[in-house]
A and B are shown apart, each in its own frame.
Chain A
Amino acid sequence: MKSRLYCALTAMVMFGLALTACSAPAPAAKAPEVVATKVLPKEFRFGTLEGDFINNVNRMIIEEFQAKYPGVEVKKEVLSGDLMQVLSAQAAAGSLADVVFLADLFVVPFAQAKITIDMEPLAKADPDFDLGGVYENMLALSKVEGKGLYMIPSSYDVVTMYYNQDLFAAAGAPLPTAASTWKEIVDSCKLILEKTKAYCIGNDGKWWATYVPFIEGYGGKVLSADGKKVLLSSSESLAGLQAYTDMWTKDGIGKPADFDCGGDCFTVGKAALNFTIPGPMNALRKLNPQPFKWDVEVIPSFPNGKKVTGMGTYGFGISANAKDPELAWQFIKALLSVKTQKAIAMDYSGMPLQKSLRKDADILALAGPPDNIEAFMSNGENGITPQYFPGKCGSLYAGQINTEINDAFDAVVISKKSVTEAFTTANDNIQACLDGN
C-alpha cells in the first residue's frame, strides 16, 4: 500500500516537474509606472559591454551616479556573445538588468515587446534634462515611429573614412581630401593594389552603413516612404549597387571573401581604407608603436556631387525589469550630459551628440592621430540612419531582410551573378515577406 503511495507521489513530482518544463514562457513584463520611490534599493544592475570604446563611458556614468547616490551599489554585468540573443534570452527569463546596453537596431523590437520602457515621461518631468540640444536625427533612432524615448544615445557615430597614409604614399596616390570623389578614391585604390598588393576595403561590404549610401547616392532608396514597397530593384538602386559591388568584382580593390588578413585588415596594414565610426580610433591610437600613419576624412562624393554615409549609435535603455525606473533614469541621463559627452570625445571614444559641442575648441584641438578629427563631425551632415522595416521580416541588421541582401551580395561577388538578377531576387523575396505580414 505504502509502495503505491510512494510511487504515486514520485509520479506526481515528475509530472509537476514536466509541467514546469513544458510551460509557456511568461509574457513580457508590463512597463512599470513611473513612481518616485523614497526608499532606494541597495543595489542597481547595469548590463553593458566591455571594450576600448565603452569602458570609460561605463566608468564615467557609474561615477557620476555614485556621487549622487553613494548608498546604492552599481553592479556592472558584462553582456557577452551575440547581443540580440543575450538580451532576448534575459528578457524572456525576466532577468534583464535595470539599465541595459542597446543599439539602434534593438530600439523598435524591444520597445514593441515591452522589454524597455518609454523614458519620455521621465525626461519631461526632469527639470535638469533637455533633449533640445541633441541632434534630431540621432534622437530619432531612439524613437518608435517617431514617438517616445526608448534609448539614450551615446555618441554621434557617423561612418567616416579612415585611411592609411603610408599605403597611399607608397603607391604615389594623392591623399583623400574633403573634395575627393568615389572615382578618385577607386583610382587611388587601384594604384595601391598594383604597387603594394594591399586592398582598399578590408571587409565583405555587407554593412548597411556602407551599401545603402551607394543606393541613395545614385538616387535610389531601399524602401518607399510608406514602408510598403521594396525599391532595391529600381534602376537607381541597381546603379548604386553596381558601382558598389564593382569594387570587388571589377576593380578588385575590395578584399576577396576568402582572403584572411590575419586580423582586422586596416589595423594590420592590409587595407588602405576603413569605413567606420569614431569609436575604433581609441583602440587604433593605443597601438604602440603606431603601425602606420593614418587619418580620417569625410566620405567621398558620388557622380552627382552628393555625399552620403551611414550613421547610428549605441546607447542605454531602462528595462521593464527596473526596480526603480526613476533611479534608473538618474543613472542613464548622465550619458547625455554635456560633461559626459565631452569626456567621451576627449577620450577618443566617440563624438558628442550635443550640438553645443560641435565646435568645442578642446575637442578640435585633440592631439592626432587623427589630425582631422573634425571630419567626424562635419561628415554628420551627410549621414543617413538605418531604414526601419515594418512587420516581422527583420531589418537591415538581422532576419530575412538582412539575409536576402547578404545572399544577393554573395551571388554577385562569389557566384558572379549580375547585380540586376541578384538584387531583383532579393527585392522580390523581401516584398513577398512584407506583403505576407
Chain B
Amino acid sequence: MAVTVAHIPEKIRRQTSWTATLRGYLFILPVVLGLIIWTFGPMVASAYYSFTDYKIIFPAGFVGAKNYINLFTRDKQFINSLSVTIRYAIMFVALGQVTCLALAVLLTQKVRGMDFFRTFFYLPIIVPYVASSVLWKYLYNKEFGPIDGFLELLGLPAVNWLGSQDTVLLALVLMSVWSSATTTIIYVAGLQHIPEELLDAAKIDGGNGVQRFIYVTMPMLSPTIFFNVVTAVIGAFQFFTPAFIMTEGGPAKATYFYNYNLYEKAFKWLEMGYASAMAWVLFAIILFLTFLIFRSSPLWVYYDGEVR
C-alpha cells in the first residue's frame, strides 16, 4: 500500500526531516572539518604569524607590520623574485594557451586513432612534477642531454639551457607547457561544445577555415579561454617544484621565483613570520590579477545566448 506524505503523522514527518538534516550535516562533516583544520586553520595561523617574528624554534613575538614593511623596503630579493615570476607568468600563459589551444584543435579533428592521440598527449599530467623535473633536467643537460644532442645532429649549436641566465627561464616555461595537458583537455571539451550548426552556417556564408575559427570558434570558446587563463595565471604565480629541483633558483638567481624565495625564508632561514607575510602578499597579488581578468572579461568573453 502506498503511503503519501499527507498520511504521515506530523511528529514522524518532523522527525524524518530532522534526521535527514542531521544525516546531511554528518555527511559533509569530514569535508568541513578538513577545510577548517587543514585550510582555514593554517590560513588564520599564517595571518597571525605574519605579524610576528616566529622562527619555529623560538616563541613568536608580535612585531606589528614590520615584516610587510621590510618586504617592500629592505628585501631586494622580493622585487627580484617577483620580477622572475611575472616574466615566467607572461611567457607561460601566452605560450601555454596558444600551444594548448593549437593542440586541442588538432585533437578534435576527425581522424582515425584520435583516442590514442588524446591519451598520448594527456600522459604528461600523470607524471609527478618531481619526476618530470628530474627527467627534464636530464633532457636539458649540457654534457649528455638528448636535446642538445639532437641540435648538434642538425648542425645547430648546443644550448646551455639550465646553465645560462638567458635561456633558463624559457627552458622552464617549455617544460611547464609540456605539463599543461589539463589545459588542452579543457580546450578539447570547449571545442566539442561549439554547436556544429554555427560552423556550418558560417561555412555556407562563405567563411573560410581561418574566418570560422576567428569569428565563430574563438567567441564560443572565450569562456573556456577565460577559465584557462585564470587558472594558468594562478598556477604561474605558484610555480616552485621545477625551480627547486632543476635549478635551485639559479644560475645567479635567474629562476629565483617568488615561491622559492618564500620557501627559503621559511625553511632555510626559519623566518616563518616573514614567510607568512610573503604568502599573504602573494595571495593579494593573485587576487588582484584575478580581479583584473574578471573585470576585463565583459570585453572579450562571450557567453552562449548573451545579447550585446
Report if A92-B48 is in contact (Cβ < 8 Å); known contacts: A410-B251, A410-B252: no
Cβ-closest chain B residue relative to A398: B268
**Segment of A63-71, A109-117, A348-356 engaged in the interface with chain B:** A109-117
- 27 cross-chain CB contacts under 8 A: A2-B18, A3-B21, A3-B22, A6-B25, A14-B33, A21-B38, A21-B41, A21-B45, A28-B58, A82-B267, A82-B268, A109-B57, A257-B250, A257-B251, A259-B163, A262-B144, A392-B55, A398-B268, A398-B269, A399-B270, A400-B269, A403-B264, A407-B252, A410-B252, A414-B250, A414-B251, A429-B76
Query: Assuming A85-B267, A260-B141, is B252 touching A414 (CB within 8 A)?
Result: yes
**A residues 220-238 touching B (CB-CB < 8 Å):** none
Q: Are B270 and A84 in contact (CB under 8 A)?
A: yes
Chain A nearest Cβ from B209, distance in angstroms: 45
A-B contacts, CB under 8 A, total: 110
B182 on the interface (CB 8 Å rule)? no
Q: Which residues of B contact A257 (CB under 8 A)?
A: 163, 250-251
Q: Which residue of the partner chain A has the closest CB to B36?
A: A18
Complex CA–CA separation, A320 to B74 (angstroms): 36
Are the C-beta atoms of B252 and A411 separated by less than 8 Å?
yes
By a CB distance below 8 angstroms, the chain A residues around B29 are 10
CA distance A415 to B163 in the complex (A): 12
Per-residue B-contact encoding for A258-288, CB less than 8 Å = 1, 0 else: 1110100000000000000000000000000
Measured CA separation A299–B259 after assembly (Å):
40
**Pair B60/A24 contact, Cβ less than 8 Å:** yes
Cβ contacts B31-56/A at 8 Å (1 or 0 each): 01100111011101100100000111
Interchain CB contact under 8 A, A258 and B33: no
Q: Which of A21, A24, A392 contacts B42 (CB 8 A)?
A: A21
Interface residues of B in 84-130 (CB under 8 A from A): none
Chain A CB within 8 A of B160 CB: yes
Interface string of A396-419 (1 = CB under 8 A from B): 001110010001001100110000
User: Which one of B32, B37, B142 contacts A21 once the chains associate, using CB atoms below 8 Å?
Assistant: B37
B36 touches A25 (CB 8 A): no
Shortest Cβ distance from residue A73 to the other chain B in the assembled complex, whole angstroms: 29
A residues 1-48 in Cβ contact with B at 8 Å = 2-3, 6-7, 10, 14, 17-18, 20-22, 24-25, 27-28
The reply on B231 being an interface residue by CB < 8 A is no
Asked if A180 is at the interface of the complex by the 8 Å CB criterion, the answer is no
Complex CA distance for A259 and B264, rounded to whole angstroms: 24
Question: Given that A6-B22, A22-B45, A258-B164 are contacting pairs, would A113 and B252 also be in contact in the complex, using a CB cutoff of 8 Å?
Answer: no
Interface of A is mostly: helix
B251 touches A17 (CB 8 A): no
Query: Considering only CB atoms, which chain B residue lies closest to A436 in the complex?
Result: B74
Judge whether B252 and A22 touch: CB under 8 Å: no
Closest to A92 in B: B56
* 0/1 interface trace, chain A 85-110, chain B, CB 8 Å (1 if under): 10011011000000000000000011
Task: Mark each residue of chain A from 194 to 231: 1 if its CB lies under 8 Å from any CB of chain B, else 0.
Answer: 00000000000000000000000000000000000000
Across-interface contacts of A88 in B (CB, < 8 A): 56-57, 270
Query: Given the complex, which residues of A lie within 8 Å of B45, measured CB to CB?
Result: 21-22
Name the B residues within 8 Å of A394 (CB-CB): 269
A386 interfacial by beta-carbon distance below 8 Å: no
For window 152-205 of chain B, which residues contact chain A by CB distance below 8 Å? 160, 162-165
- Contact at A258–B160, with CB atoms within 8 Å? yes
Known: A88-B270, A92-B57, A259-B142. 16 other contacts (CB 8 A): A6-B25, A17-B37, A18-B37, A21-B41, A21-B44, A25-B56, A88-B56, A258-B142, A258-B160, A259-B143, A259-B163, A398-B269, A399-B270, A410-B251, A411-B252, A414-B252
| A260 engages B142 (CB within 8 Å) | yes
Q: Which of A6, A22, A28: most chain B CB closer than 10 A?
A: A22
Q: What's the minimum C-beta distance from A437 to chain B, rounded to whole angstroms?
A: 11
Residue of B nearest to A416 (CB): B252
Q: Contact residue range for chain A?
A: 35 or more
Q: Is the CB of A14 within 8 A of B142?
A: no
Residue from A10, A91, A113, A258 in contact with B251 in the complex, judged by beta carbons closer than 8 Å: A258
A148 within 8 A of B: no
Q: Which of the four size classes fits the interface of chain B?
A: 35 or more
In the complex, B253 has a CB within 8 A of chain A: yes
Chain B residue with Cβ nearest A258: B163
Contact A25 B60, CB 8 Å, known A2-B18, A3-B18, A403-B264: yes
Say whether A22 contacts B57, CB under 8 Å: no
Establish whether residues A91 and B163, one from each chain, have CB atoms under 8 Å apart when the complex forms. no
Docked CA distance A394–B274 (Å): 14
Are A89 and B36 touching (Cβ within 8 A)?
Answer: no
Q: How far is the CA of A131 from the CA of B168 in the complex (A)?
A: 53
Nearest residue (CB) in A for B46 is A22
Q: Is the CB of A399 within 8 A of B57?
A: no
Asked if B59 is at the interface of the complex by the 8 Å CB criterion, the answer is yes
**Inter-chain contact B40/A18, CB cutoff 8 Å:** yes
B57 and A256 contacting across the interface, CB-CB below 8 Å: no
In the bound complex, residues from chain A placing their C-beta under 8 Å from that of B76 are 429
Whether the pair A18, B41 counts as a contact (CB closer than 8 A) is yes
Do residues B25 and A7 form an inter-chain contact, with CB atoms below 8 A?
yes
Q: Is the CB of A115 within 8 A of B57?
A: yes
Q: How far is the CB of A210 from chain B (nearest CB, A)?
A: 19
Q: Contact partner of A110 among B22, B42, B57, CB < 8 A?
A: B57
- Contact check, A91 vs B57: say whether CB atoms are below 8 A apart: yes
| A contact residues around B42 at 8 Å (CB) | 21
Instruction: Determine which residue in A10, A25, A392, A394 has the highest number of CB atoms from chain B within 10 A of its CB, and name it.
Output: A25
- A18: chain B residues within 8 A (beta carbon): 36-37, 40-41, 44
Chain B residues with Cβ below 8 Å from A415 are: 165, 252
A36 to B251, CA, bound (A): 54
Q: Are B36 and A17 in contact (CB under 8 A)?
A: yes
Chain B contacts of A27 at CB under 8 A? 59
8 Å CB contacts to B: which residues of A323-382? none
Distance to closest chain A CB from B219 (angstroms): 45
| Chain B residue with the shortest CB-CB distance to A88 | B56
Q: Which residues of A contact B40 (CB under 8 A)?
A: 18, 21
A311 vs B269: C-alpha distance in the bound complex, in angstroms? 23
Taking a contact as CB atoms closer than 8 A, the residue among B162, B163, B268 that contacts A84 in the complex is: B268
Are A113 and B41 in contact (CB-based, < 8 A)?
Answer: no
Is B144 a contact of A414 with CB atoms below 8 Å?
no
Residues from chain A with a CB closer than 8 A to the CB of B250 are: 257, 410, 414
Bound-state CA distance A14–B251 (Å) is 47
Q: Is the CB of A260 within 8 A of B25?
A: no
